[in-house]
Amino acid sequence: MYTFKNRSQVWDTVGMWAWLFHRVTGLALVFYIILHIVLMGTSLLRGPETFNSVLGFLMGSTLFLILDLLLAAAVLYHGLNGIRILLFDIGIGFNRQKEIFWVLMAAGLVIYLFLLWRVLPEIF
């Protein structure tokens, strides 16, 4: 009889986006790590020449280095928000969860800008 539910979500909260990005970056990292292990593993098994040429190709590719910057952003976000979640797990920060999020994001931005400052001259 009752055939319908309102499936609307709440989108205007910090926690919603913190959670969603955590899951998206977490899944992206799993995907990356599988790719990474398979690629490194197979090229290593084929001997030093193959390994060197694969790495040389990747490190020489601008596209790959830009993807690496995206990877760094994902790790940074996932790690910093991961600290926030772990604080909750030990019972800290329930009445300051949004403030903790923004402080960590500010720290992340500083770290990322530092990273760009060091890495961008290498790429371009």
Choice between 33 and 120, CB closer to ligand HEM: 33
Q: Which helix (H) or strand (E) holds 68?
A: helix 62-89
Q: Which does 4 bind (CB under 5 to 8 A by kind): ligand HEM, another protein, none?
A: another protein
Q: Which residues have CB under 8 Å from 37's CB, separation 6+?
A: none
User: What does the alpha-carbon distance between residue 87 and residue 69 come to, in Å, rounded to a whole number?
Assistant: 27
CA–CA dist 86, 32 (Å, integer): 23
29 lies in the binding site for another protein (CB under 8 A): no
Q: Residue 30 binds which entry of ligand HEM, another protein, none, with Cβ cut-offs from 5 to 8 Å by kind?
A: ligand HEM
Residue 13: what are its φ and ψ, rounded to 5°? -125, 150
The verdict on 27 binding ligand HEM (CB under 6 A) reads yes
What residue 12 binds from ligand HEM, another protein, none (CB within 5 to 8 A, per partner kind)? another protein
Give the footprint of another protein on this chain (CB under 8 A): 1-16, 18-19, 22-23, 85, 88-89, 91, 94-95, 97
